[in-house]
Amino acid sequence: MTKLVYILNGPNLNLLGKRQPEIYGHDTLADVEAACAAVAAGAGLAAKLMQSNYEGQIIDWIHEAREAAAGIIINPAALSHTSVAVLDALNTFDGPVIEVHISNIHKREAFRHHSYVSARADGVIAGCGVEGYALAMRRMASLLA
């Protein structure tokens, strides 16, 4: 059966393409979804992209992934810097987890330098723009091979 990869996106990423394009670029989440689907298909994987502005919804999707997904790519957005609950949820998931940040969080304000999610992530990609998602999918394919 084709392995499924969840691509989870946290608060404000629904506005990707419109929100602070000087930081996050002009591509939308739909563009990210298409790019990831292409990489996934080339690797014999399937991808499902989701976005929510609600911490609890992200946690529920991580719980769902325990049964439904082989791996998780996650851009927790601002929840990276605040949410022990998202970290705890990811710690219930057995498969590979790759954390993505569109911007280089280490080059930005000090409060963005720490991510709770990085304590669980098998890999972290930051500062590669939206291409980071496709890079994460390539790495996910290697990890799931």
Annotated catalytic residues are 24, 101
Q: x/- binding map, residues 72-91, to ligand DQA, per CB under 6 A? A: ---x-xx-x-----------
* Residue 112 interacting with ligand DQA (CB under 6 A): yes
Contact 46, 3 (CB under 8 A): yes
Tokens of 113: 């330098």
CA 33 from centroid of its chain's CA atoms? 11
* 43 vs 83: CA distance, rounded Å: 32
Q: Which residue is nearest to ligand DQA (CB)?
A: 77
Q: Please, which residue, 12 or 28, has the CB nearer to ligand DQA?
A: 12
* 89 vs 36: CA distance, rounded Å: 23
Residues that bind ligand DQA (CB under 6 A): 12, 75, 77-78, 80, 101-103, 105, 112
